[in-house]
Amino acid sequence: MRHMEQGLVWVLWLEPMSPLEFSRDISMTDKTQDRYTLVAIVLHWLIALVLISAIAVAWQFDDAKGLAKFQLFQLHKSLGITVLVLSLARLGWRLINPAPAALASLKPWEKVLSKAVHVGFYVIMLGMPLTGWLVVSASPKNIPTLLYGIIDLPYLPFVHGLAQEQAHNLQELFEEVHEAMGKVTYALIVLHVGAALKHQFIDRDSVLSRMVPFLKKA
């Protein structure tokens, strides 16, 4: 609140404070910025929920047939594109509101590994939807995608409408990358959730509570 008032005073004085500086000023919870902003927290948990749902739906593909299978694919693609949109929003927000510094109590290897996992997640959060989108765009079957039954997803340019054989080869290539990235996603989730639980129950520090505002510090 104090920052909001401070920001308003700046605006009233017509001091040269850019909208970027102003939004950074009101979004920080305190000067030390020792936790994530509410926007970052909401986006984090939304992305986690939708990404895990996209995986859960993909796991049903093999058992389904006919219309049910088609609908599962449509739902999977809708959830996946939602992850892409939310992740772009998260990245944009992060540019204006950098993530808080790692806890000083972390060991050097923990800082390096957590950074690597976070960067890896961003590659996945953008790369999984993009490679999936490339699969459907390259596919010679030209199956349409209607996101949540409402929004028509266009095909990506350059890979769409190629000659049959080239289209088929490209589709297979993108499928392999999508599948391999899926395996990387499983590994990152195990490392990330394992680390969160270790910090909460073994180290008993504030790592998890920075991302879960109502959680009491362990």
Q: How far is the CB of 57 from ligand HEM (least distance, A)?
A: 8
Provide the minimum distance between the beta carbon of 115 and ligand HEM in the complex, in angstroms, as a whole number.
Answer: 9
CA distance 184 to 188: 6
Least distance (Å) from ligand HEM to the CB of residue 24?
15
Q: Tell the smallest beta-carbon distance from residue 143 to ligand HEM (Å).
A: 9
Which positions lie near ligand HEM, rule CB under 6 A? Answer: 40, 44, 47-48, 51-52, 54-55, 58, 76-77, 80-81, 83, 90, 94, 99, 102, 114, 118, 121-122, 125, 128-129, 132-133, 135-136, 145, 175, 178-179, 182, 185, 189, 192-193, 196, 207-208, 210-211
Closer Cβ to ligand HEM, 196 or 218, answer by number:
196
Q: Which of 163, 37, 53 is nearest to 100 (CA)?
A: 37
Q: Nearest approach, Cβ of 16 to ligand HEM (angstroms)?
A: 29
Helix (H) or strand (E) holding 152: strand 151-152
Q: Cβ closer to ligand HEM: 17 or 52?
A: 52
The angle subtended at Cα 71 by Cα 66 and Cα 74, nearest 5°, is 130
Q: Which is nearer to ligand HEM, 160 or 192 (CB)?
A: 192
The residue (of 11 and 194) whose beta carbon lies closer to ligand HEM is 194
Q: In terms of residues, how long is the chain?
A: 218
* Cα–Cα nearest to 85, from 46, 57, 53, 120: 46
3-state secondary structure of 150: coil
- Cα 65 to its chain centre, rounded Å, is 30
- The residue (of 129 and 170) whose beta carbon lies closer to ligand HEM is 129
Distance from C-alpha of 195 to C-alpha of 71, rounded to nearest angstrom? 35
Beta-carbon count within 10 A of 214 CB: 5
- As measured in angstroms, the least distance from the Cβ of 22 to ligand HEM is 22
In this structure, what is the dihedral angle of CA atoms 61, 67, 73, 74, given to the nearest 10 degrees?
-160
CB count within 10 Å of CB 135 equals: 22
- Closer CB to ligand HEM, 26 or 195, in the complex: 195
